Structure formats: structure tokens, C-alpha cells
Amino acid sequence: MKRRDFLASAVALAACSPVPPGVARNISRYGLAQHARRSGRHFGAAVKSRLLREDAAFRAAVARECDMVVQEYELKRGTTEPKPGKYDFSGADQIVDFAQEHGMLARGHALVWYAANPPWLEPALDAANEKTRQQLMTSYIDVAMRRYAGRIGEWDVVNEAVEPNEGRADGMRMGSMWMKALGEHYIDIAFHKARDTDEKATLFLTDFGLEHDSPRCERRRTALLKLLDRLMGRGVPIDAVGIQGHLKPYKERFNERQLADFLRMLSGYGLKLSITEFDVADRGGPPSPDKRDREVASVAKAFLDVALDNPAMGSILCWGLSDRYSWLSNFPEYKWPGGQLSRGLPLDAKMDRKPLWDAIAAAFDSAPAMRSASA
């Protein structure tokens, strides 16, 4: 048989073979990163260094599916600076090394956040004068960005700056230690410092609760847009907005037009976009895992289709890769009783691809090309 005939008959055989879809998707050599690349994009996941070290199947899955990684917690200051000025970057180093060994990109998460800080930091801020208060924030930007210059290409500089539920008229998160210590200008100072420290890095403002058709998300979208208006008006060097993308389809509705409009407003500022922490909380869904998987996949496809339709949308990163290790399984609001695992990530607990994997691959396959960096 000639090679071409052989290929033709193999394709015909595959088309009528009784291989169930789950098996078919699991034998494809193409990972999600390959699907992303078709439109010039990237696919990545949040990882923990211990899992890369100790779980060979997880490590292989990350290598197969991703061309970008981010630390799930190992660049948060509570981990890296347990004592003032005494740093431990061992976990983040391993993740960045892994990325380099595999030719992947790395993101940095997160330089300035109200949460996951070391216990010494807030009392130190309370006791400091204005100049020292700024230094208590910028010192970390300086140390972390310098350490990874040229190896981490994009940074979540400020994470979760808005929280209208806290009651301020402008929707800023007033409980944040940075807001209390420096006012809204902490964001300006952080981005200017980040730009000065690594002028090549892409600088992100990231937030959650922007995805759904609910009063909660509407308030959060409005607060973020108003904040961006002020920041862009002051010339703050923000390059990109990260939509975290923690979907909760069994609690809140999703409206395609509304999300598309919001993303268009963001990209209208000339900002790049990414989905930086995608997953789907399945708590509250039907008891049958198969049915739930199909529903989760369908809402993910609807969301990602809208996201990828915006030419400014670059990377999609999941918050984890396999249900074996999803943070959702331990998060009080989303976790199932009785230790049942959440099923909100593209691979199941056995590292097999799920309908959610198909949905992400299909969304990438049908995505229009992204806007090039120079456009």
C-alpha cells in the first residue's frame, strides 16, 4: 500500500471507528498549547513545585498540555519573605527552571496583593512613615522582578484591587493593607516601580468576579473600569488586564453579549487581555459526574468563545491542570461534602482529558487570530 493510501484508509478507519470520544481525545498528541498556537496564543496552568517534583504523571501532563506556567502560591510574599528581607525563592525557582527546561513561558503571581502576605508586614506598615510604607511595598517588586528578569515575562503587579462590597463609593478594596497605608496611589507606585525594574516585562492588573451576569459582577466590572479610567488618565504603565475567570455557573448566570462588551471596553484602552486563573466551580451541579462534565464544558466553551473572539486576548491559563489537585476541592464555598473532588479543570483526577479539555481545544481551534503585539 502506498503511504498516501495508507493514510487515507487510516483516516477513514478513525472516522468510523467505535473509539469513544474520551479515548480519542486521550490519544491525541496535541496538547492545549498546540491548539492555542494556531491563533498565536498560549495555554498554561498554575502549578506547585512539589507536584512537579513528586508526581511524574502531573509533571508529564503539564509538559504535554502547557507552554506557560504560573506559580499557584510560590511567588506570594507570605511564602517568599517569611522574615523582613529574608527571602526564600526555592519553590518559584524550580517552577521557572521547569519552564525553561521545557521551552515554556512563565508568569509571576503576584507582587502586590492584600492577601497571602507574611504576618510581620501589616504591623510594619502600621508603624512606618510614608516613605518607608512605600518601600515596604516596592522592595518586593524590586527583589522579585530583578531575580527573574528575562525569565518571567509577565507579572501580576497588583491583584484584586477592587471590592465594591466593602462599601467605598469608588468600589476600591478598602480593607487592603496597601489601600489603608498609601491610598489608591499604591497602584500607581507599584506599576511605575515594576516598569522601572524590568522595562521588558508585561505588567498586569488582575481581578476576579468580572465574568457573570449578576449584580455582584456588574458592580465589580464598573469599579474596575472606573479604576482603569483614573489609572490610564494618570499615565500609569499598565499593559494588560487579567480576568481571573473562576466561573460559578451554578450560582450565577452568564451572558455572552455582556462579557464581550466588557472585554471590548478593556481592550479599547489599548490593553492586552488574558484569562489568568480559569476553572469552573461545579458545586451545585447535577449529581451525575458525566452530566456535570458536559454542562461545565458547555459553559466553558461559551465563555472562552467570547474571550477569544477579542483580538486583544492572549493567553488562557487554568488555575491548576488536573482535578487531582484543584484548589476548588478545598475552598469552603465550592467544595463538595464527603471529600468528593471538584471537576473544574481540563484533566480528571487520573490525568485523563475531560469534556472541559475538548471545550478549551475547540475554543482555541475556532478562535480568530489575536492582535499582534505591534498592532
Binding interface with ligand XIL (CB under 6 A): 72-73, 159, 208, 244, 277, 327
Distance CA 318, CA 276 (A): 7
SS3 content of the chain, % helix, strand, coil (to 5): 50, 15, 35
- Cβ 278 to ligand XIL shortest distance, Å: 11
- Cβ 190 to ligand XIL shortest distance, Å: 15
Compare residues 55 and 309 and give the one whose CB is closer to ligand XIL: 55
Compare residues 303 and 364 and give the one whose CB is closer to ligand XIL: 303
- Cβ 24 to ligand XIL shortest distance, Å: 31
Quickly tell me which residue has 499593559 as its cell.
239
- C-alpha cell at position 333: 464555598
Quickly tell me which residue has 449529581 as its cell.
287
Compare residues 277 and 358 and give the one whose CB is closer to ligand XIL: 277
Compare residues 67 and 277 and give the one whose CB is closer to ligand XIL: 277
- Cβ 208 to ligand XIL shortest distance, Å: 6
- Cβ 327 to ligand XIL shortest distance, Å: 3
Residue 315 makes CB contacts below 8 A (sequence gap 6+) with 36, 41, 42, 43, 44, 68, 274, 275, 276
Distance CA 354, CA 371 (A): 30
Do 39 and 364 meet the contact criterion of CB atoms below 8 Å apart? yes
Compare residues 186 and 208 and give the one whose CB is closer to ligand XIL: 208
Look up residue 284 and give its amino acid. Answer: G
Nearest position to ligand XIL, beta carbon: 327
